[in-house]
Amino acid sequence: MSDNLIQMTPELRAFVEEWKSKPGNLIMVLHRVQQTYGFIPREIAIETAKILDVPLAKIYGVITFYNFFRLDKAGKYNIQVCLGTACYLRGGDDIIKGFERELGVGLNKVTDDGMFSVEAVRCLGCCGLAPVAVVNGEVHGKLTTKDVDRILKLYRERG
């Protein structure tokens, strides 16, 4: 975790205030937090709990329940592996496990060198290429577990 204290932006504060008394606000607010920082910083989770007047544990309960919320910054290369239906049926899950194994990190965690993170996402809109992974916007399709090494090597060489 960063040593620099992360401040809630005025835009985000206004958004949280606006959603304060609306039903289902927590998910909406957490999406906005992640959109703003790329993950859910602890300082911001604490601040959000105060504004919404909910226990911090409830916020972390939601964050850990849905795997699209991140607690850490993404790696320099964020590997998004599709787990939409087409990709799942063609082994998307094995691709994720392959990346996790090779990198030694679980989903939504960052490797120690800060280079990679792995994320499971829903349909990326290119099901014809299933199973698919997108790395910083670059699409890699028709993957097998043998491609995991090749993809990591490609980005390691880019540095």
* β-pairing verdict for 116-121 and 138-140: unpaired
Three-state DSSP class for 82?
A: strand
Cβ proximity to ligand FES, 15 vs 99, nearer residue: 99
Binding to ligand FES by residue 63, rule CB under 6 A? no
Query: Which of 84, 105, 108, 119 lies at the binding interface for ligand FES (CB under 6 A)?
Result: 84
**In this chain, which of 49, 62, 127, 154 binds ligand FES, going by CB under 6 A?**
127
Among 2, 64, 85, 144, binds ligand FES (CB under 6 A): 85
Contact 74, 119 (CB under 8 A): yes
Distances in Å between the Cα of 53 and the Cα atoms of 32, 47, 68 are 18, 10, 23
Q: How far is the CB of 78 from ligand FES (least distance, A)?
A: 17
Cα–Cα distance, 29 to 40 (Å, whole number): 11
Residues near ligand FES (CB under 6 A): 82, 84-87, 123-127, 130, 132
